[in-house]
Structure 1
Amino acid sequence: MTTQVPYRPIPVDQSDIRYDHGPDSVLGPGVPAGETIELDWNDSWAYPGTSRKLWVHVPAAYDPSEAAALMVFQDGWWYLDPDGEVRGGIVLDNLIHRGDIPVTIGVFVDPGVFEDVTDADGRKNRNAEYDAFDDRYVTFLLREILPQVTDRYSLIKDPDRWGICGGSSGGNCAFTAAWLRPDRFRRVIGFLSSFVQMPQGNPYLDLIPTVPRKPLRVFLQAGHRDLRWNEPERNWLADNLRVAAALAEGGYDFRLVLGDGGHSPNHGGVLLPDALRWLWR
């Protein structure tokens, strides 16, 4: 079946672009809002000394007798905020209500902070958690965060129904979690992923073509004017394109959406409904 796409002129200036949110990013008429509970986590084994908040968004259609799918979002409140760019809870409510995606519990996890550190930058543990190429963060999710969810709600065990999403450093974090633990996470969304910030360099350009294909489905978004877009090194745009090319050559089920604008969550947030529909198709 052919999908007809309406004509829209492309902007001449690629640097200062803002995309309009679609109807799925505003709670629709008659759509029941899910329940969101806020939790604190201050006793981390993986990241000692850190504290963080997390939010569990449970759709109105959730039935305790039927296990739900799971979507984990990095940068928790930033991705949940109903007045922000992504509006993850609203998007889930709309799509679940219409049957576009299965009943899915959203878990929105903030990066850790060191409460006893006064320096603003020193307080943040975000890059240490998100940019590393190891299984520390995904193990943290599986052993420390998700048990707080499974103690309260029923989650399906099928890894094809477990997804993980993030933007910037949270995007490569999401990809790394699924890459290292495809037995748990197999659906990935990465918006403007900061592969160039991984401490020992981006490993995926070499890994993806050389290891047996993993059972992942990956949605990537990149921006024409992302950070250092026209520089020979640490080029956010170029590395996202290279990862997409490696996925293509590796025969992966992946999708790349390339937009205009800089390092902003706007375009990714606008795309979230379509990304979720595509992931769960």
Structure 2
Amino acid sequence: MTIELPYQPLPIDQSSVRYQHGPNSIQQQGVPVGTVVEFEWNHSTLYPGTSRKFWVHVPQQYCPGEPTSLMVFQDGWLYLDPEGEVRGGIVLDNLIHSGDIPVTISIFLNPGIFPESEQPKNRNTEYDAFDGRYVDFLLTEIIPQVTERYSVSEDPETWGICGGSSGGNCAFTAAWLRPDKFRRVIGFLPSFAQIPNGNPYPELIPNTTTKPLRIFMQAGHRDLHWNEPDRNWLSNNLRVTAALAEAGYDFRLVLGDGGHSPNHGGVLLPDALRWLWRWQPKQARPRGVLRMEPSCFVSRSELLGFLR
């Protein structure tokens, strides 16, 4: 099938490019709004002394007892803020309602801070390290607080992780080290360039048995140090995606004209989630079978899809 796209002229001046949000990043009339529950975590054993907040987005279509997919977003509030660049909750509501992605419980997790310290942020320590401490932190300290309250599938094919900048390479590392848990990855402008001791992935990927990952990445022509020989965010992202291509991974790279900003990634989030899941609920549901439970919300679009 050939898909024709409308012509869009390229900007000549790339010094300040901003992308406009599409309809899936805007609250739509008639779309059920999920519930956002706030949590606080001050008892970490893997990052002692840190404090952080996280938010759990529960779609209105969630049915207790029916396992859902799971997404974990780093830099939690930045990705959840309905007036920000990413607007994760709005995007999830729209895509779940339209049937483009499955019903998904999502965690929006802030990096840790040291409340009493002169250097309070623990973000780079958590996100940029090439080790398993952060993903272990997710699996042993954060996610259990969610799974004890909500029904989440244990199938790693239904678990995704997303982040931007240092949160992007953090998401990649979490899935790389634990593909038995996370198999779908979104990385916006990942900061591979500032991983301590250097970016290992261009050499590591082609020399490691292919992992069952699906990876969506976004890079920017004017990302940090884009035309410099050292710590070049653009070239490091291109090297990682080249290695993924040569190793036969299921990946997609979107290259934009912006700088190191969450704008382009935020605009791309609906398409990234659609591509990540490639969900086809109509084909998956046997025709003539509609199961309804008193505790479940069935949207108008789901009902119409069933009747077609």
Q: TM-score, normalising length from structure 2?
A: 0.90
Q: Which amino acid aligns with 1:55?
A: W
- Among all aligned residue pairs of Structure 1 and Structure 2, give the percentage whose two residues are the same amino acid: 73
Offset at residue 138 of structure 1 (A): 0.2
**Which whole-Å CA distance do the structure 1 matches of 2:13 and 2:139 have between them?**
44
CA drift of 1:66 comes to 1.2
Q: Could you tell me which residue of structure 1 aligns to residue 256 of structure 2?
A: 259
> What amino acid is the match of 2:141?
E
* Residues in 2 aligned to 1:267 and 1:15: alpha-carbon distance in whole angstroms: 14
Give the aligned partner of residue 53 of structure 1.
53
Q: 1:229 aligns with which of 209, 226, 231?
A: 226
SS of the counterpart of 1:123? coil
1:261 is displaced (CA, Å) by 1.3
**2:217 is matched with which residue?**
220
1:75 and 2:75 are equivalent in the alignment: yes
CA–CA separation in structure 2 for the residues paired with 1:195 and 1:169: 8
Deviations 1:231-259 (A, max 9, x none): 01110000000000000000000000000
Structure 1 residue matching 2:268: 3-state secondary structure: helix
State how far apart, in whole Å, the 2-side matches of 1:75 and 1:101 are. Answer: 22
Structure 1 residue 145, shift from structure 2 partner: 0.1
Aligned counterparts, 1:1-281, within 5 A? 1-117=1-117, 119=118, 122-281=119-278
Q: Which amino acid aligns with 1:11?
A: P
Deviation string 1:60-89 (CA, Å, 9 cap, x unpaired) is 100112100000000000000000000001
Q: Deviations over 1:121-166 (max 9, x none)?
A: x100000000000000000000000011011100011101100000
Residue aligned with 1:39, SS:
strand
* Alpha-carbon distance between aligned partners in 2 of 1:15 and 1:67, rounded to the nearest angstrom: 46
| TM-score, length of structure 1 as denominator length | 0.98
- Over the aligned positions, Cα root-mean-square deviation in angstroms equals 0.5
SS of corresponding position for 1:200: coil
CA distance in 2, matches of 1:248, 1:69: 27
Unaligned runs of 5+ in 2: 279-308
Q: Report the counterpart of residue 304 of structure 2 in structure 1.
A: none
Distance in 1 between residues matched to 2:112 and 2:67, nearest whole Å: 29
Aligned residues: 278
Residue identity matched to 2:189:
L
Q: Which has the larger radius of gyration?
A: 2
Residue type matched to 2:264 in 1? H
For residues 149-191 of structure 1, the C-alpha deviation after alignment (integer angstroms, 9 at most, x for no partner) is 0111000111011000000000000000000000000000000
Alpha-carbon deviations, 1:103-130, whole Å to 9, x = none? Answer: 001100000000111x2xx100000000
| SS of the residue 1:246 aligns to | helix
For residue 7 of structure 1, report the CA deviation from its aligned partner.
0.5
For the residues of structure 1 that align with 2:167 and 2:125, how far apart are their CA atoms? Answer: 11
Following the alignment from structure 1 to structure 2, what is the Cα–Cα distance between the partners of residues 160 and 14?
Answer: 38
Cα distance, 1:27 vs structure 2? 1.5
Unaligned runs of at least 5 residues, structure 1: none
Work out the CA distance in 1 between the residues paired with 2:242 and 2:200: 14
In structure 1, distance between residues paired with 2:64 and 2:51 = 30
- Give 1:243's aligned amino acid: V
Q: In 2, distance between residues paired with 1:15 and 1:174?
A: 28
Q: Give how far 1:14 is off.
A: 1.1
2:297 alignment counterpart: none
Tell me which stretches of 4 or more aligned residues in structure 1 moved more than 4 Å.
none
Task: Give deviations 1:172-223, integer Å, cap 9, x for gaps.
Answer: 0000000000000000000000001100110101110001000000000000
Letter aligned with residue 244 of structure 2: L
Per-residue deviation, 1:15: 1.7
Secondary structure at 2:86 match in 1? coil
